[in-house]
Amino acid sequence: MIPNSTAARDVAYLLHPYTNLSAHRESGPLVISRGKGIHVYDEEGREYIEGLAGLWCAGLGFDQERLVEAASRQMRQLPFYHAFGGKVPDVLVDLAEALMAIAPKPLERALFVNSGSEANDLAVKIAWYVNNALGRPEKKKIIARRKAYHGVTVMSGSLTGLAYAQDGFDLPVSRVVHVDTPHHYHGAEPDESEEDYATRLAEQLEATIQAEGPETVAAFIAEPVMGAGGVIVPPRTYFEKVQAVLRRHDVLFIADEVICGFGRTGNWFGCDTFGIRPDIMTVAKQLSAGFLPIAATLVSGPVYEALVAGSDKHGMFGHGNTYGGHPVAAAVALETLKIYHEMDIVGRVRRVGTALQEGLRRYIDHPLVGEVRGLGLIAGVELVADKASRTNFDKARGIGAGLVRRAQAHGLLTRAMPGDLIGFCPPMIIDEAGVAEMLRRFDVALEESWSAL
């Protein structure tokens, strides 16, 4: 590393999130200096397609003058205010109204926070608060799924079902129960249909609730399509059957829409795609197209009424962050939603998503590819050592990381996820030509990985 370069100073001063720290000390960072459209550029000016929209968030790409203007207008007008104690910045009311106009039924109200992790943490706190208010203080356990990703705070990190996010941190904490990942490709019996597999998973959920005691289970949390766990699309009828079990035991459904929200799956929300009627829902990332941190926890009418009852009992609803619903972030989110409407984001994702899904499915016969999955503008390609037995390369020889490095050298940034899954979640402004170019760069990296074996 060149002394005093950005890379050298990075190694000297930064502690990197989700990074192998000793390897990073040797290799240093890829320094990104600017962005335009679906591209970002490193400090030498090399161009990359951002195949994962940064962290699944830059839905409108990396330059949007309208969002810059919305932020600077709001900064001049009212750079900070809050919603504690009954005050409110006006822009936050506009944002809440715009969000509720598209939110799935029966959601009615939103509390704004700063990140997906905080939103999920709050969702759990709400589930607990509601059950205390309803006089059932023992109903507190939360059921999550293995391979889920819900964040990094002590509770959202506990809901997460990925070892790499928990090892060394003494997570998960108690009150969290994990059930099976709904992944037909690996989880189903030979010849088991998607519907039968979904029935079996719902029966497992029922058995888990019975074993824990229905009177102790408060909520079930799920991403409609699992993101960081490996872009896992649930089997047909899964959520319908899961919801029937939850209703039977009065267990709240928390939908984590942090990745799926705002068009990504070809509907406004993943809940719309899968017929989910959430009691609580969390959003972040594409709410502001990643331009500023803002997130929210949305609640249904009955949940809200229970919160009101709790607030009467305790004197207030005792939750809030200094920067939750920050007016500048709210102004950017409001403008983001306007842009989504104007560009018909749902129609666009369906159209361009078809090109992505069809383009990737052409790889299904490739000797390294076990499964291609996804919908809308989120997709994944799973690499396998043996197609017949569906076994991945072992951990040490996993080839996803190598493929990602090769893709980077060819101008495509993406990520290898658990199970050697290469993820695609490009900015939703990508067009068919952009998809074709992204797949061309992936193709080169895949062929290089194949010939290197």
CB of 148 vs ligand PLP, minimal distance in Å: 8
Closest CA to 261 of 295, 303, 219: 295
Q: Smaller CB distance to ligand PLP: residue 209 or 226?
A: 226
Q: Please, which residue, 188 or 428, has the CB nearer to ligand PLP?
A: 428
- To ligand PLP, the closest distance from the beta carbon of 229 in angstroms equals 9
Tell me the helices (H) and strands (E) count for the chain, helix number first. Answer: 16, 15
* CB 116, min distance to ligand PLP, A: 2
Select 296 or 352, whichever has its Cβ closest to ligand PLP. 296
**Least distance (Å) between residue 157 CB and ligand PLP:** 9
Instruction: For residue 23, report the phi and psi dihedrals to the nearest 5 degrees.
Output: -60, -40
Q: Which is nearer to ligand PLP, 56 or 220 (CB)?
A: 56
Tell me which amino acid residue 429 is: I
Question: What is the nearest approach in angstroms of ligand PLP to the Cβ of residue 400?
Answer: 18
The residue to which tokens 């009852």 are assigned:
309
Tokens of 98: 């715009």
Q: Which is nearer to ligand PLP, 378 or 403 (CB)?
A: 378
How many angstroms separate the CA atoms of 143 and 158, rounded?
Answer: 11
Contacts of 149 (CB under 8 A, 6+ apart): 160, 161, 162, 165, 223, 226, 227, 228, 229
Compute the distance between CA of residue 358 and CA of residue 45 in angstroms, rounded to an integer.
32
CB of 51 to ligand PLP, least distance (A): 15
* Spatial distance between the Cα atoms of 112 and 105, rounded to a whole number of angstroms: 19
Q: Is 11 exposed, middle or buried (0-12, 13-18, 19+ CB in 10 A)?
A: middle
* Contact footprint for ligand PLP (CB under 6 A): 55-56, 115-117, 120, 149-151, 223, 227-228, 256, 258-259, 284
Give 296 or 435: the residue with its C-beta nearer to ligand PLP.
Answer: 296
Q: Please, which residue, 145 or 184, has the CB nearer to ligand PLP?
A: 145
CA-nearest of 182, 119, 197, 120 to 146 is 182
Q: How far is the CB of 386 from ligand PLP (least distance, A)?
A: 30
Nearest C-alpha neighbor of 253 from the set 233, 272, 234, 276:
276
Minimum distance between the CB of residue 52 and ligand PLP, rounded to whole angstroms? 10
Q: Which is nearer to ligand PLP, 149 or 291 (CB)?
A: 149
Residue least distant from ligand PLP (Cβ): 116
145 versus 441: smaller Cβ distance to ligand PLP: 145
The DSSP bridge pattern shows strands 369-375 and 378-383 to be antiparallel
Q: What's the helix, strand, coil split of the chain in %, to 5?
A: 45, 15, 40
Least distance in angstroms from the C-beta of 72 to ligand PLP:
24
CB of 114 to ligand PLP, least distance (A): 8
Task: Identify the three-state secondary structure at position 47.
Answer: strand
Among 322, 201, 321, 303, smallest CA distance to 255 is for 303
- Nearer CB in complex with ligand PLP: 150/373: 150
Rounded Cα distance, 436 and 426, in Å: 12
139 contacts 215 by C-beta, under 8 angstroms: yes
